[in-house]
C-alpha cells in the first residue's frame, strides 16, 4: 500500500460500520493519513502490510498485515479488515486470510499466527475458524464500544493447520 491509498484508508477509518469491532484510536485528518502512508517504512520481516484488491478491476477493498513477527519465535500477529462494505460476505476476507497465512507460513517460515477478535464480531470469527484458527483464550473486558466493555478471544493457528 502507498500514498495513493490514503483516501480509502481515511474513509474506512471514519465509517462507524467498518470500525464497529476494531480498535480505532483517535480519528486522524486525511493529511495525517497521507503523511503516514508516505513515510511508512517498506515491508520488513517483522511488519508487512498488503492491500486487498479485487482481481477483476484492481479495486482496493481492505488491508491485511502481519506484525510483531520474530524469527526467533516464529510467531506473528495478524490484522485484517475490509473497508468496502459492498464486498462484505462475498468471500474476499476468507481468501485474503488464506493468502496471508500461506505467505506467513511458507515465505516467512512462521510457526504460529495469532489474532484477537471481539466476542461480538461473529462474522469475523466465522472467517477465522473457517481457515483454521482456534480459540486459545479470552481476554476479559478489553474492548470498549458505545460505553460498554466487551471481551476478546485470542485465536491462533499453527503451521500445518491452514484449511
In this structure, what DSSP letter does residue 86 have?
Answer: G
pLDDT in tens, 17-74: 999 999 877 778 999 999 989 998 899 999 999 999 999 999 999 999 999 999 999 9
Q: Which pLDDT does position 24 carry in this prediction?
A: 73
Task: Return phi, psi of residue 15, to 5°.
Answer: -100, 115
Q: d(Cα 3, Cα 96) in Å, to the nearest integer?
A: 22
C-alpha dihedral over 57, 16, 151, 99, to 10 degrees? 10
Q: For 111-155, how does the pLDDT look when each residue is reduced to its tens digit (9 = 90+)?
A: 999 999 999 999 999 999 999 999 999 999 999 999 999 999 999
pLDDT exceeds cutoff 90 at 2: no
Q: Which residue has the cell 512462521?
A: 110
Amino acid at each position: 500500500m502507498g500514498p495513493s491509498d490514503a483516501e480509502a484508508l481515511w474513509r474506512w477509518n471514519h465509517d462507524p460500520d467498518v470500525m464497529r469491532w476494531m480498535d480505532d484510536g483517535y480519528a486522524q485528518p486525511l493529511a495525517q493519513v497521507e503523511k503516514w502512508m508516505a513515510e511508512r517504512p517498506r515491508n520488513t520481516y517483522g511488519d508487512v502490510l498488503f492491500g486487498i484488491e479485487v482481481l477483476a478491476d484492481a479495486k482496493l477493498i481492505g488491508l491485511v498485515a502481519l506484525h510483531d513477527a520474530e524469527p526467533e519465535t516464529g510467531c506473528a500477529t495478524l490484522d485484517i479488515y475490509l473497508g468496502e462494505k459492498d464486498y462484505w460476505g462475498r468471500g474476499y476476507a476468507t481468501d485474503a486470510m488464506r493468502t496471508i497465512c500461506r505467505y506467513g507460513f511458507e515465505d516467512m517460515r512462521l510457526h504460529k499466527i495469532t489474532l484477537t477478535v471481539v466476542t461480538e464480531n461473529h462474522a469475523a470469527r466465522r472467517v477465522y475458524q473457517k481457515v483454521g484458527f482456534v480459540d486459545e483464550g479470552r481476554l476479559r473486558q478489553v474492548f470498549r464500544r458505545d460505553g460498554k466493555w466487551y471481551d476478546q478471544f485470542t485465536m491462533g493457528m499453527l503451521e500445518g493447520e491452514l484449511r
